[in-house]
Amino acid sequence: MAEKANDIRPGHVLEYNNGLFLVVSIMHTQPGKGGAYIQAEMKNIKTGAKHYERFRSDASIKRAILDEEEYTYLFTEGSVMNVMHPETYEQIIIDLDLLGENKIYLQDNMKIKVITYQDKVISVHVPDYITLTVNDTESTIRGQTATASYKPAILENGIRINVPQFIKEGDKVVVHTLSDSYYERVKE
């Protein structure tokens, strides 16, 4: 879908230089001499490399149309994972590299977002918050709870995070997957 450069916003995905670029930020500039332009900071979706580009305000830009669907994670086999569409039961195989470091968060029957462009998977996302069990942590030392101090803990998937002093082995905690950090203890 073609648009004017003036219409692009952060979060849009553009087809540019034979690739897909996510617009991170834009700045409208009107110099005293010459025509107005848009300075865009973009990120290549495939490589993750940042790219800066200037567009004339009236330039024609091609915006990519992406499809986002929720799938259920089934299992991993080598370097690929199998997922299933919850309504059609269609199963597809996706390269684990599309998840990057977040593949450590995969759990059976987890709902994941699969983003496609022209029927090709370009991105996969786990939920922002997931629940995990604490497998190992130090015991609480009396008197340390007066201040907001944290201690290291190892979760069931092997990841190491810092948790508040009151968390003990066997507790279930919610982890923010975007920052690999403790969010809250699960209330039972």
Which span out of 31-35, 86-90, 135-139 was modeled with the highest average pLDDT? 86-90
* Mean pLDDT of the residues in the chain: 87
110 — pLDDT class (breaks 50, 70, 90)? very high
132-142, pLDDT tens digit by residue? 999 998 876 66
pLDDT at 32 > cutoff 90: no
182 — pLDDT class (breaks 50, 70, 90)? very high
Between the CA of residue 14 and those of 53, 56, 98, 164, what are the distances in Å? 12, 15, 19, 42
pLDDT at 98 > cutoff 70: yes
| Cα 175 from Cα 128, distance rounded (Å) | 8
Question: Do 2-63 and 129-185 come out as alike in CATH topology?
Answer: no
pLDDT at 7 > cutoff 80: yes
Q: Token digits for 151?
A: 């201690």
185 — pLDDT class (breaks 50, 70, 90)? very high
The CATH number, out of the four listed (3.10.20.340, 3.40.50.2300, 2.40.50.140, 3.40.47.10), of the domain defined by the range 129-185: 2.40.50.140
94 — pLDDT class (breaks 50, 70, 90)? very high
Region for 80 from its dihedrals, namely left if φ exceeds 0, alpha if ψ lies in -120 to 50, beta otherwise: beta
123 — pLDDT class (breaks 50, 70, 90)? confident
- Identify the residue with better confidence: 147 or 151: 151
Answer whether CATH 2.40.50.140 is correct for domain 67-125.
Answer: yes
* Closest C-alpha to 87, from 113, 75, 108, 69: 69
147 — pLDDT class (breaks 50, 70, 90)? low
CATH of domain 2-63: 2.30.30.30
Residue 153's pLDDT is 92
Every domain of the chain and the residues it spans: 2-63, 67-125, 129-185
